[in-house]
A and B are shown apart, each in its own frame.
Chain A
């Protein structure tokens, strides 16, 4: 079952912040985040394991609330290069399948 992402799309001006949410109905072992530019392959950003840790990649960070089976991706002081579609991927405890959400399209404007 695919995780649910919100919002579907967000438009930002350079320097603004945004949060993308990802939730699952299953008990999760890990959450992945990827970014895809138009016409290209998805690119790995970070992976969060159970334990509620927070990770960062440049000014992009994420958290994982294992009690709520939710993860959030934080885009801080957005840059033009942050534009793209962001996907979360979830791995349940009892399964080896990585399932992706429908994606959140981020547009950063000058």
Chain B
């Protein structure tokens, strides 16, 4: 099993550009989430989904959109990239609530 796969691994954007970070899992997990990790701030929840067609905001949702059309995929869209969105982004999945999270390897995003 591949687990949680994130693409791309690295990306450089210019301010104002848009892009989609991809996340796919092959474990048939219902719960998926996106976190960003910045030095000294730990992991902050951006958006999460409890199943296909259902998404909700986390702690830092501004500037990001998500959708969940299938159980496997949970893409994160940056609408108009800003330097403050430079970060490492992690996607995670779990069978349900109160369950261990499986993290992808992360996407390192730099916005100039």
Q: Interface on A for B, CB 8 Å cutoff?
A: 1-2, 5, 29-30, 32, 34, 40-44, 47, 49, 87, 89, 91, 96-103
The reply to whether A96 and B40 contact each other, CB–CB distance below 8 Å, is no
> Counting CB contacts under 8 A, is B75 at the interface?
no
Query: How distant is A87 from chain B, measured CB to nearest CB, in Å?
Result: 6
In the complex, chain B residues whose CB is within 8 Å of the CB of A98? 33, 45, 48, 101
The CA-CA distance from A43 to B43 in the complex, in Å, is 13
Given contacts A30-B98, A91-B97, A91-B98, contact A97 B43 (CB under 8 A): no
When C-beta atoms are compared, the residue in chain B nearest to A91 turns out to be: B98
- What is the size, in residues, of chain B's interface with A at 8 Å between Cβ atoms? 25
The CA-CA distance from A5 to B40 in the complex, in Å, is 11
> Counting CB contacts under 8 A, is B68 at the interface?
no
The reply to whether B48 and A97 contact each other, CB–CB distance below 8 Å, is yes
Which of B21-29, B77-85, B103-111 is near enough to bind chain A?
Answer: B103-111
